[in-house]
Chain A
Amino acid sequence: MFSNLIKSLTVGAAVAMSSVVPAVADNDGPILVVSGPLSWPFFAAVKQGFDEGAETFGIDYQYIAVTDTSNMTSDYPRLLQQAISRNPSMLLVGEFFPDGMDPLIREATAAGIPVLIHNSGQTLWQDNGSIGFIGEDPFQMGYKAGEIQAEAGVKLGLCFNQVPGNPTVEERCNGFVAAMEAAGVETIYQTIGTGDATNPQAMTQAIKGTLQANPGIDGIYTLNAVPAMSALRAVDEVGRKGDVLIGTADLSNEALIAIKNGDLAFAMDQQPYLQGFMSMQVAFQFLNYGLQPIGHVKTGPLVIDSSNVDATLEVNKKHAGVRGAS
C-alpha cells in the first residue's frame, strides 16, 4: 500500500514535471530533505513550503525526520548519515545538532553533494562547504524579544524553555538573556522535566510556581505558542494579569487571538513556510542553472503584535498551517 502511495506520488510529480520546464539535470539521485519532526506545527509548515515548492518547480523529493523526539541529538546525525549514503543529487538539511551533524555535512560536501542548510546552522554553513543558508538566527530572535521587553520597562524577565537540551531552542533564551543584560535587566532561566514538554497543565503549574517564588517577575518569554498559553493562564492564576508582559516565539491561532485581545504582547514568526519553499527554489535553480543566493537568507524574526495580527489571523483561516499554526 505504501509503495502504491509512493508510485502515485511519483506519477503525480512526473505529470507536474512535464508541464514545468526542465527536469533536474545529470545527477540521478533523489533530492533529500533532512528536517524537523512533523508533530511540531512549525515543521508542518516547513514541509508545506517544501511540498508546494516541489510542486511549483516540478521536482520530486523526500522528507526525512524523526517521529520520536526524545533522542533527537543522536537520531539526527544517524538520519543524515543514511541520507548521504543514498548519494542524493542535493541535500537540504536543518543543522539542528551541529556537533554530530557538521562533520557529516563536511563529508557530503567533500564528496561533491551540494548541501543547502535551512532553519538552523546559520553560523556554520560558510565553513562546511554548503552553498547557502535559509532561516532564522535563534539567538537574534531571542535578542529581539529581549529588546522589546527591556524597552517596555520589564525589570525581571523569565525565559521559559520547555525543551531543555535542544541547542537551537536554548539559543533563543541565550539571546533573550543577552539583550536583557545589555539593557541592565535581570533574568531568570527556567526549564521543565522532559516528560512534560507537551503537557500544557504541567507547564502552567511550573510557571505559576516560579511566579510565586519570584514575585518580581514582570516579563515572560516562551519559546513556543503552547507554553505561551500556559504562561497566560499562570499569570492570571497568581492574580498578576496585566502586570506581566508575555511574548513568545512561534505562532498558534490561540496565541494570535490572545495578541488581538491584548493578553499577549507579541509572537515572533520565523516564517517556516519560506524556509521550505525557498530551499526548494534554490535547489531547483542551483541544479538546473547553477544559480545560488549569495549569503545568508533571513526568514525571521517577523514580529507579530497588535498592529499586524488581524492580517495573520485572516491567512490562518484561508490557508491552514502555512503560518505554522491554525
Chain B
Amino acid sequence: MTKYLKKPETGAFAAFLLTYVFFALATPGTGFVSINGTAGWLNLAAELGIVAIPVGLLMISGEFDLSIGSTVGAASMILALGTNQFGGPTWPMIVLALTAGGLIGLCNGLVVVKTKLPSFIVTLATNFIVIGATMGTSRLIANVTSSSIFASDSAKMVFAFRWGQANISILWWLLIAFIGYRVLSRTAFGNWIYATGGNEDSARAAGVPVERVKITLFVATGVAAALVGILQGIQWNSGNSTYGMGYVFQAPIVAVIGGVLLTGGYGSVVGIVFGTALFGVISSGIFYTGWNTDWIQLFLGLLLALAVLANNYVRRLALTSK
C-alpha cells in the first residue's frame, strides 16, 4: 500500500478524483458524466496532454519550454499554407510541420546547452521569434495570418477521426503517455532524465550525457507541439498562428499539478496524465455548472489551488507514512 502511496502520481490521482466527484455532484442532469460529456473534457485534455508529457519530462530534467505555444501555431500554418496556397499534398506537409517542430526544439536545446542561459528565457525568446516568423512569412506569402487547410482523407482519418464525439487525439495522448511512461521508468534514458534534473554536476560526473538528454527532450517537445498543431489544424480545417498560445503556461501547470517538481528531478508521466485530466475536467466542467462566467477565472484559480494543495497533502502523507 505505502509503495503506491509514495508514487508521485498518487496525489494527482486523488486530486483528480476529488475534482471529478465535485463536478459530477455540481452539475446534476446536464450530462457532464455522460459519454458525450466525458468525450468533451477528454478531447480538451488530450490536446494539452500530448504536449504536457514531453514538457513534464523536460521539467524533470530541470528545463522549461515556453516556445510550445507558437510551435503549435507554426505547424498549423505550415500545413495550411502548404495545402492551400501551394496546393501541396497533405502527408509531406505534415512531415514538414513535424520537422519544423523538431528543428525549433533542436535550436532551443543547442542554445540552452551551449550558452547555459536559463531555458525559461531562451524558450520565451523562441516563442516570440517563432510566432513573429510565422506571421511575417504567412503575410508575405498569402497576406493572411490564418488560412484554410485542405487535408487528404487519409490524414483526416489519422488526425481528426471521431468515435461519436471522442476525438482520435485521445488515442494519440494515450500513445504518447505510454511511450513517455516506458522511457521514464523502464530505460536508462529515463534514469538519466531524473539524474540530470536531480543534480546536473553529479550526473555528469557519473557519466550521464546531460547535454544529449536535454537536447533530445527539447526536440521531442517541439515535435509534440507540432503534432498538436496538426491535430487542431486538421480538426478545424484551419491553420492559425495563434493556436496553442494558452499552452505556454497550461502545460507546465498541469505537469506541476501532476506532481512534477518545478526544480526538477521528481515527477511521473502517470501523474502528468492525471494533472492534465484534472485541468480538462475543471475547464470544461465549470461551464456545465451554469455559474456566472464573469467569475470563471476566479473559480478556475481557486480549484487549481485546491487541487495542488490536496495533491501536496496526499504526497506528504505518503512520504511520512512508514
Contacts and interface: CB of A to CB of B under 8 A. Distances in A.
A41 B145 contact: yes
A209 B300 contact: no
B290 interface: yes
A44 B250 contact: no
Contact of A205 (B43, B240, B244): B43
Contacts of B41: 205
Interface stretch (B57-65, B88-96, B231-239): B231-239
Nearest to A194: B297
Interface string A221-246: 00000100100000001100000000
Contacts of A212: 27, 30-32, 37, 288
Nearest to B253: A195
Contacts of A68: 128
A326 B135 CA distance: 14
Interface string B275-296: 0000000011111111001101
Interface string A26-68: 0000000000001111001000100000000000000000011
A252 interface: yes
Interface string A305-322: 000000000000000111
A27 to B, nearest CB: 30
A201 B32 contact: no
Given A191-B293, A321-B144, A209 B246 contact: no
Interface string B136-167: 00010011111110000000000000000100
B37 to A, nearest CB: 7
A200 interface: yes
A237 B165 contact: yes
Interface in B237-269: 237-238, 240-246, 249-250
Interface residues of A, number: 45
A202 B285 contact: no
Interface in B95-142: 128, 131-132, 135, 139, 142
Contacts of B245: 195, 198
Nearest to A324: B144
Given A44-B143, A202-B246, A193 B288 contact: no
A190 B290 CA distance: 10
Contact of A40 (B47, B85, B145): B145
A210 interface: yes
A181 interface: no
Contact of B284 (A39, A205, A214): A205
A215 to B, nearest CB: 9
Contacts of A109: none
B237 A205 contact: no
Interface centre among A192, A209, A252, A322 (most CB of B within 10 A): A209
Given A196-B283, A210-B287, A321-B142, 9 more contacts: A44-B144, A193-B300, A195-B246, A195-B250, A198-B242, A209-B286, A212-B37, A214-B290, A226-B238
Interface of B: 27, 30-32, 36-37, 40-41, 43-44, 47, 84-85, 128, 131-132, 135, 139, 142-148, 165, 232, 235-238, 240-246, 249-250, 283-290, 293-294, 296-297, 300
